[in-house]
């Protein structure tokens, strides 16, 4: 039994009590109480582990309390719908153009990244199982997930904005690049969970691979795919850096994605956070509250879907 | 389940076969876009960065002098700043993340486990710009006093003291590192937790059966099994910290200098790009894109290494 601990570790296991003179034979349980030193060390470790949770939770609580209390002060229907004041000094609503911009830009990014990502995942899991190109794509989509968001912004700037100018669509392209690897990897993970029996049964009934995938595999995996995609959308909705050089800014609503500059909640928070005016800072808090509510809504829907319809 | 299903060959019209091939080709093309995008990022950005790189030569990487109005572009100070704040972030985030992952896998009762994992999800869900907003308007104003106090105690200490001396500033390398730590904690936690979950139950039970306390079980059974995975997780966190832009940009103080003083302002690659791109043109803009290329290269290397380590660990465990 003792070898099963030490063998995979490839070194003597330090777990066998404080007596370092121990050799191969496992020490039988004597029923004697554990020595003080070991007990202290164990308790200290347990306390530290608990403390780690607090260390992460306390700043989060502070952030949320500030966002809710400061943002709650300005948050109302007018804030969500009215234009951004011409003068940043002036108090009052609104963030309407930013709310619309976030929804439009994130929506357009979703429309591009989700179908592409799902099909790519289908290739990886259904066709490319063991082939080397698929392995390379799998690896590189993990790497792509780590590409900094500001680099995606610069990338779209060099290939799109320099030719066609700033627009909401350019921002959507940058966000889609960010979402794509997340959609691919989460979808592939869900596809892998679909039981092989289902595919075999469908094939046995005479369906071709594409028909099997479209009518059996994807429907079976749909809840998981949906929740993964929603998490990707939530992530994209909060991104700022890819929008900095791609959408520009605007104070009045611009419903046209393809023409004219646009704005988004995250971009407005970034700009207003740097202004020395209390009114602007309050609008930033309000925008932060709006953005967090939006992201939370998406996250909660994703959780509910994945909890209710998990495969198996 | 009947075993007498006839083979489907020859029963399908040819049209369907063509559809099948088309679908396969379409899905392959979608997979291929990942390669295409990554390639295009490298090519198009390098191309736009070329004017600045040609003007500065190797000096772009080795000079710390960043004076756009004189046409001097040296990225060293920003590379230094990126590394320093990432290191600070890791120093705080790694122990905390491993602690939380241990709490979730080994220590917490089931009900608490659920609550804590929701908290970590929430930490990950808050957009980076919101952390930045809080950091610049709240944290940086409050934390100066703490910096002053720490500076008074630690500055006289030889060697280490240099890190903490000088006038403390709320917007500093250290504040940026702290905010980054908050943001990479959920990532490192999620991956280490997955890795701790793969430790065979039998090994843990064996350790306990041998009379190990919980801590001894963790050290003897959990850690040795997870070492490579933990390294990979930390590197993924590092990759994220290096590229994280907005939160750090708001609190870093934006001062292009190489200084050991952690409580003083500095600057990092992503924040320079974020702040200066709008006002730049010509070679200046090209230089900022070149900073993006450097950042891209740094994060790609770190991420590739991390993935190789994590994947190898998974294969070893699966075998």
Contacts of B25 in chain A (CB under 8 A): none
Name residues 247-286 of chain B within 8 A of A (Cβ): 250, 270, 273-274, 277-278
Measured distance CA(A198)–CA(A194) in Å, rounded = 8
Distance from CA of A180 to the nearest CA of B (A): 8
CB-based contacts of A270-277 (< 8 A; 24+ apart in sequence): A270/A240, A270/A244, A270/B129, A270/B132, A270/B246, A270/B250, A272/A88, A273/B129, A273/B132, A273/B133, A273/B136, A273/B137, A273/B250, A274/B136, A274/B250, A275/A88, A277/A88, A277/A89
Whether chain A has a CB inside 8 Å of the CB on B10: the answer is no
DSSP state of A239: -
The per-residue pLDDT for A32 is 55
Helices B173-197/B76-102 angle, 10° precision: 40
A33 — phi, psi (to 5°)? -70, 155
Q: Residue written as tokens 């829907």? A: A301
Top residue of A15, A178, A286 to mutate, by most chain B CBs within 10 Å, is A15
A196 — phi, psi (to 5°)? -65, -30
Q: What is the length of chain B?
A: 319
Measured distance CA(A136)–CA(A4) in Å, rounded = 35
Measured distance CA(B158)–CA(B164) in Å, rounded = 11
Distance from CA of B130 to the nearest CA of A (A): 6
Give the chain B residue whose CA is nearest to the CA of A180.
B34
The per-residue pLDDT for A33 is 67
| Mean pLDDT computed over A40-63 | 92
The per-residue pLDDT for A47 is 92
Sign of the Cα torsion A14, A18, A23, A26 reads negative
Contacts of B225 in chain A (CB under 8 A): 8-9
* Residue A7 scores a pLDDT above 50: no
Measured distance CA(A10)–CA(B44) in Å, rounded = 47
The percent of residues above 90 in pLDDT, for chain A, comes to: 55
Top residue of B4, B16, B20, B31 to mutate, by most chain A CBs within 10 Å, is B31
| Mean pLDDT computed over A106-119 | 95
CB contact under 8 Å between A150 and B11, yes or no, is no
Name residues 125-154 of chain B within 8 A of A (Cβ): 125-134, 136-138
The per-residue pLDDT for B241 is 93
What value does the CA radius of gyration of chain B take, rounded to a whole number of Å?
Answer: 25
Compute CA B229 distance to the chain's CA centroid, rounded to the nearest angstrom. 15
Q: How many CA atoms lie within 13 A of A236 on its CB side?
A: 36
Measured distance CA(A158)–CA(B49) in Å, rounded = 10
Measured distance CA(B271)–CA(B250) in Å, rounded = 8
> Whole-model pTM?
0.87
pLDDT in tens, A274-303: 988 988 999 999 999 999 999 999 888 888
CB contact under 8 Å between A53 and B123, yes or no, is no
Give the domains, in start order, of chain A with CATH numbers: 98-309 (1.10.3720.10)
Q: SS3 for A182? A: helix
CA distances from A85 to A161, A166, A271 (A): 27, 22, 14
- Contact between residue B35 and residue A140 where contact means Cβ atoms under 8 Å apart: yes
Indicate left, alpha or beta for A107 from its phi (over 0: left) and psi (-120 to 50: alpha): alpha
CB contact under 8 Å between B243 and A288, yes or no, is no
Whether chain A has a CB inside 8 Å of the CB on B300: the answer is yes
The per-residue pLDDT for B318 is 63
pLDDT band of A147, cuts 50, 70, 90: very high
Closest in A119, A281, A291 to B130, CB measured: A291
Task: Give me B95's structure tokens.
Answer: 């122990």
Task: Give me B101's structure tokens.
Answer: 């992952």
Closest in A152, A206, A274 to B11, CB measured: A206
pLDDT in tens, A15-49: 433 333 333 333 434 445 678 888 889 899 999 99
pLDDT in tens, B270-312: 999 999 998 888 889 999 999 999 999 999 999 999 988 888 7
Superfamily of domain B53-129+172-318: MetI-like (1.10.3720.10)
Top residue of A30, A47, A150, A269 to mutate, by most chain B CBs within 10 Å, is A150
CB contact under 8 Å between A45 and B218, yes or no, is yes
CB contact under 8 Å between B277 and A244, yes or no, is yes
CA distances from B160 to B87, B145, B260, B308 (A): 15, 20, 10, 35
Measured distance CA(B301)–CA(B298) in Å, rounded = 5
CB contact under 8 Å between B202 and A4, yes or no, is yes
Domain ranges of chain B: 53-129+172-318
Distance from CA of A87 to the nearest CA of B (A): 20
- Contact between residue B179 and residue B248 where contact means Cβ atoms under 8 Å apart: yes
- Contact between residue B90 and residue B238 where contact means Cβ atoms under 8 Å apart: yes
Mean pLDDT is highest, among B78-87, B105-114, B138-147, B259-268, for B78-87
Of B228, B3, B81, the residue nearest A8 (C-alpha)? B228
CB contact under 8 Å between B38 and A143, yes or no, is yes
Contacts of A211 in chain B (CB under 8 A): 16, 20
Closest in B27, B119, B236 to A119, CB measured: B27
pLDDT in tens, B42-97: 999 999 999 999 988 888 888 888 888 888 898 999 999 999 999 999 999 999 99
Give the chain A residue whose CA is nearest to the CA of B202.
A4
* Residue A53 scores a pLDDT above 90: yes
Q: What are the helix (H) ranges across chain B?
A: 14-56, 59-62, 76-102, 110-125, 128-134, 140-154, 161-164, 173-197, 201-209, 214-217, 223-243, 246-251, 269-276, 282-318
Mean pLDDT of chain B: 87
| Mean pLDDT computed over B25-50 | 93
Give the chain B residue whose CA is nearest to the CA of A283.
B133
Closest in A17, A140, A269 to B130, CB measured: A269
The per-residue pLDDT for A199 is 92
- Contact between residue B100 and residue A53 where contact means Cβ atoms under 8 Å apart: yes
């Amino acid at each position: 039994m003792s070898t099963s601990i030490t063998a995979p570790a490839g070194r003597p296991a330090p777990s066998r009590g404080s007596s370092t003179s121990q050799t191969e034979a496992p020490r039988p349980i004597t029923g004697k109480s554990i020595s003080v030193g070991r007990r202290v060390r164990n308790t200290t470790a347990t306390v530290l582990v608990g403390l780690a949770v607090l260390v992460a939770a306390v700043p989060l609580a502070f952030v949320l309390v500030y966002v809710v209390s400061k943002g709650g002060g300005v948050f109302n229907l007018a804030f969500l719908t009215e234009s951004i004041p011409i003068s940043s000094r002036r108090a009052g609503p609104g963030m309407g153009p930013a709310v619309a911009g976030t929804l439009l830009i994130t929506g357009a990014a979703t429309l591009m990244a989700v179908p592409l990502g799902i099909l790519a995942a289908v290739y990886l899991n259904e066709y490319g199982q063991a082939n080397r190109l698929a392995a390379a794509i799998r690896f590189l989509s993990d790497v792509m997930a780590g590409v900094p968001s500001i680099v995606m912004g610069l990338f779209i700037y060099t290939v799109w904005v320099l030719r066609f100018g700033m627009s909401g669509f350019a921002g959507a392209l940058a966000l889609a690049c960010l979402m794509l690897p997340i959609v691919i990897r989460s979808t592939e993970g869900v596809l892998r969970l679909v039981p092989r029996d289902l595919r075999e049964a469908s094939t046995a009934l005479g369906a071709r691979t594409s028909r099997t995938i479209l009518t059996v595999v994807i429907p079976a995996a749909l809840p998981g795919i949906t929740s993964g995609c929603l998490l990707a959308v939530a992530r994209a909705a909060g991104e700022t850096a890819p929008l900095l050089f791609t959408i520009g800014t605007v104070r009045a609503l611009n419903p046209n994605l393809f023409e004219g500059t646009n704005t988004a909640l995250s971009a407005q928070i970034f700009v207003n956070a740097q202004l020395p005016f209390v009114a602007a800072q309050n609008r930033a808090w309000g925008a932060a509250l709006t953005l967090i509510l939006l992201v939370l809504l998406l996250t909660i829907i994703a959780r509910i879907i994945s909890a209710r319809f998990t495969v198996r | 389940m009947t075993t007498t299903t006839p083979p489907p060959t020859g029963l399908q019209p040819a049209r369907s076969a063509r559809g099948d091939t088309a679908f396969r080709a379409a899905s392959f093309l979608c997979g291929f876009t990942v390669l295409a995008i990554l390639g295009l990022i490298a090519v198009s950005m390098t191309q736009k960065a070329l004017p600045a790189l040609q003007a500065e030569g190797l000096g772009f990487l080795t000079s710390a002098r960043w004076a756009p109005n004189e046409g001097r572009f040296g990225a060293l100070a920003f590379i230094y700043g990126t590394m320093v704040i990432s290191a600070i972030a890791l120093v705080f985030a790694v122990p905390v993340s491993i602690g939380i992952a241990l709490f979730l896998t080994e220590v917490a009762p089931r009900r608490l486990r659920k609550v804590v994992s929701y908290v970590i999800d929430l930490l990950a869900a808050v957009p980076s710009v919101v952390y930045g907003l809080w950091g610049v308007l709240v944290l940086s104003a409050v934390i100066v006093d703490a910096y002053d106090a720490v500076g008074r105690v630690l500055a006289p200490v030889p060697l280490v003291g240099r890190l903490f001396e000088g006038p403390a500033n709320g917007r500093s390398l250290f504040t940026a590192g702290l905010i980054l730590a908050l943001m990479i904690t959920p990532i490192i936690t999620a991956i280490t937790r997955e890795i701790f979950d793969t430790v065979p139950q039998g090994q843990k039970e064996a350790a306990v059966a041998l009379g190990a306390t919980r801590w001894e079980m963790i050290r003897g059974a959990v850690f040795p099994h997870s070492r490579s995975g933990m390294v990979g997780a930390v590197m993924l966190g590092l990759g994220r910290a290096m590229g994280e832009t907005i939160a750090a940009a708001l609190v870093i103080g934006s001062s292009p200098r190489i200084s050991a003083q952690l409580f003083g302002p500095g600057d990092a690659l992503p924040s320079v790009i974020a702040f200066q791109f709008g006002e730049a043109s010509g070679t200046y803009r090209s230089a900022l894109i070149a900073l993006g290329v450097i950042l891209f290269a740094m994060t790609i290397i770190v991420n590739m290494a991390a993935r190789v380590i994590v994947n190898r660990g998974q294969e070893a465990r699966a075998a």
